[in-house]
Structure 1
Amino acid sequence: MECLCDEKKTNDIKVEGDVGADPFWCHHCGCNLDSEEFPISIELRDELMKWILKYGEWINWTNDEVVSNGVELEEEHNRIGRLLTDKVKKELRGDYKVSFSPSTFAKKYSKK
């Protein structure tokens, strides 16, 4: 997969949510990777895109604060992300090293 590393490609990827981005990232250079280029099923690609569209439901973007029950929303998002990462690993059959990078915003910034 092409990225911004010195080698211009990677097989070490992470699944991570972010606003307006595909869920695949180079684990080394942080380049966002086009999910269409991965040999995964349409069903899994759709699941990943639905998951990514929910990224940040725990954030009040106007105030840059955590919404009430934001920690729980983020934890659920991360739980689903881990399950999807396992599906990605299975479908890529060892051709890529795949890890999951959980969101930590709500956990870091929630008022206790």
Structure 2
Amino acid sequence: MRCFCEQKETFDLKMEADVGADPIWCVECGCNLDLEETPLSNELKKELIDWASMYGKWIDWDLDKIISNGIQMEEEHNRQGVILTEQTKQELGGKYRITFSPSTMGRSYNTL
């Protein structure tokens, strides 16, 4: 997949959700890869987009605090991320090394 590395292509990927970003990243240069350019099924791309769009729903951004059931929401988000990472590995075959980076942001906030 195309990235900003010197060789312009990466085979070392990280699955990580972030606000306003696609969930696949180059491990080497940190480039956020365009999900539309990945050789994944449209169904899996949609699942990844839906999953990534839920990132941070456990935070009340106005109060800068985690909501009351936020830790459980974040844990479920991470569980789903592991499943989607495995599905991505299956679809891409052995060509890419893919690791999952779970969210730990909920632990850094106070609970409402």
| Shorter-chain TM band | over 0.9
Instruction: Determine the structure 2 residue equivalent to 1:80.
Output: 80
Structure 1 alignment gaps of length 5 or more: none
TM-score by length of 1: 0.93
Tell whether 2:53 aligns with 1:53: yes
Instruction: Determine the structure 2 residue equivalent to 1:43.
Output: 43
Amino acid at match of 1:93: G
Instruction: Determine the structure 2 residue equivalent to 1:69.
Output: 69
1:8 Cα shift? 2.3
CA RMSD of aligned residues (A): 1.1
- Between the aligned residues of both structures, percent identity stands at 54
Instruction: Determine the structure 1 residue equivalent to 2:25.
Output: 25
Distance 1:26 1:110 in 2: 31
Kindly tell me the number of residue pairs found equivalent between the two proteins. 111
TM-score by length of 2: 0.93
Q: Is the 8 A contact 1:71 1:110 kept in 2?
A: no
CA deviation profile, 1:25-56 (whole Å, cap 9, x unmatched): 01122110001111111111111111111111
Amino acid at match of 1:45: K
Distance 1:78 1:13 in 2: 17
Secondary structure, counterpart of 1:33 in structure 2 = coil
Structure 2 alignment gaps of length 5 or more: none
Amino acid at match of 2:46: D
Tell whether 2:102 aligns with 1:106: no
